[in-house]
Amino acid sequence: MGSLTEDNLRALAGARSYERGLGYLDAVSGVEVGDGRITATVHGTERYEAELTLEGPGGLAGMCDCPYGLEGNFCKHLVALGLTALAQRESLPRQRKAARERAQDLDGWLSALSKDELLALLREQIGEDRQLRRRLELRAASVRGDLATVRARIRDLLDIGPFAQYGYVEYADARAYADQAKQAVSAIAGLTGSGRAVEAITLAREAMRLLAEAVESVDDSDGRLGQIGAGLADAHLDACRAARPDPEELASWLVGHALGDIDDGLTGIDPLDYEDVLGKEGMAVLRESAVEAWRRNRTGWAEKYLMERLAKAGGDVDAVIAVQAADLAPNGHTHLVIARELDTARRSDEALSWAERGLRETRDLAAVDTALVDDLCERYARTDRLSDALTVRRDHFGARRSLRAYQQLRAAARAADCWPAERERALDLLRADAERRKAGWYDGPVLVDALLDDKDVDAAWQAATRTGAHDRQWLTLADQARAGRPADALAVYLRLAEPLAEQTGNSVYDQLVDILLSIRDCHRRLGTPDEFTAYVTALRTAQKRKRNLMRRMDEHGL
């Protein structure tokens, strides 16, 4: 119980989820305290099941079947459950003890029942619980090898009809459908376990096809059908290992499955997982089929991926390169992939050649994969070809005049000991850009950012005054120039504060308070604190209804 504290809940959830959890305290119902767990239903957008583990290996933990919780996060529903449990902390030890005693009593009672009594109890539950009856019927059919019954039941399990309105399973019903569909995996595994692996292979493939068809009509936002697809893949592999089917037929099916568009990655089957089943004969057929399919469609993603997997598994770097080279991206990305493959094979000269070729063959240097530019410059730097690296950076900056390209040009020019002259050429380009795009620049001229990055604040201020600048840039300019030119900075801060004062929202209030602190500093430097006091007093009077803003201002002595 010691791990269940408000501080731990806040640490696990984060400030945002913790605050949101406070609004769900009235939505918690059906709290059930077990020995080491607390469960409840929390009503949010849907009805969610939340569970807190009090004494896990890492201390307090939780699970919730809401979308955020299924991603592994400690959600607002868990916070609400934890706070609800803390509200009754005095009675929790007694409830946990009672839960232990109930579990022991139940186990003791069941252990004392005879076989006939247990069967009678089970039959009673079967009569009352239709889903339990169907699950057990399916298991029984699997064990006795009743293929017709199992096939029909699997079709029923994967049928979206009972859950679909207007032919589509909405999110609210997707979980129930997935829980039902999951039984198909157990049935197929049961066939393998009862010595009928050949039939299990057939039904696994049928189930994959049915699931792939169903997923198109299900809101699978939580990815449950993907988990079922992976389960079917595992059941198929286990069945193949048990039955040892014809390797040529299996290889052909695997290639067809990998290249087909029906499954679309739902099962995640990797043909190489079947290497022990296929043997040399089957692997040879697998490779031949993959090569044939790739030759028919050299630009197909699935064909390329399968060929690469097989080539890499066989250590055939040249085959990997051949696959990549058959479909080169116009921005040089594929050339970079090939260069890295050659690096792995310790063929550095060829890797450099491919990287250079990638830059040479790029249709638009402004759209080149910047990772290729970085890679090539790093190769030149490692071999002291600094002038070549500078040329690449200069050309790239000329085509793509961004702050990042400017920074990279500066680093290369400094390494080559020629930055002053290079800087002037680069700034001339940026000045021309600033003049040409003065009216429609979205985020302010790069010239201002470049000068700020060079710590040339005076030149940046002059450029911003002449060509205009974005508010983001003016704020940075004011921050950097405040010590030397407080009056100019004050004018900027006052202008930026005005529209913020008309807006609402905590993030806006944080920005406004930061600017107010800067305004106060400017007045102190100018020796006009009374003017600041008058300004803040007027602001408080006008904005007094914004309680969160007033609280933030109080915290900072404003």
So what's the pLDDT on residue 392? 96
280-316 confidence digits (pLDDT tens): 999 999 999 999 999 999 888 888 989 988 988 888 8
pLDDT value of residue 187: 87
In this structure, what token pair is assigned to residue 300? 């197909």
- Cβ-based neighbour number of residue 197 at 10 Å: 20
Q: 376 burial class (0-12, 13-18, 19+ CB within 10 angstroms)?
A: buried
The pTM assigned to this predicted structure is 0.63
What tens digit of pLDDT does each residue of 318-358 get? 999 999 999 899 999 999 999 999 999 999 999 999 999 99
18 and 10 Cβ atoms separated by less than 8 Å: yes
CA distances (Å), 23 to each of 16, 27, 43, 297, in order?
A: 12, 8, 11, 56
pLDDT for residue 418: 95
Q: Please tell me the distance from the alpha carbon of residue 311 to that of residue 319, in angstroms, as a whole number.
A: 6
In what side-by-side order are the strands of the sheet with 28-33? 28-33, 37-43, 47-56, 59-64
Q: Three-state secondary structure along 67-133?
A: HHHHCCCCCHHHHHHHHHHHCCHHHHHHHHHHHHHHHHHHHHHHHHCCHHHHHHHHHHHHHHCHHHH
pLDDT at 101: 83
How high is the pLDDT of residue 266? 86
Measured CA to CA, the distance from residue 465 to residue 473 in angstroms comes to 11
At 200 the pLDDT is 92
DSSP assignment, residue 38? E
- Residue 251: how many other CB atoms lie within 10 Å: 25
CA–CA distance, 66 with 49 (Å, rounded to integer): 8
Across 200-231, b (16+ Cβ under 10 Å) vs e yields: bbbbbbbbbebbbebbeebebebebbbebbeb
**Can you tell me the distance from the alpha carbon of 110 to that of 125, in angstroms, rounded to the nearest whole number?**
14
Residue ranges in the chain modelled with pLDDT below 70? 1-2, 56-57, 261-264, 438-442
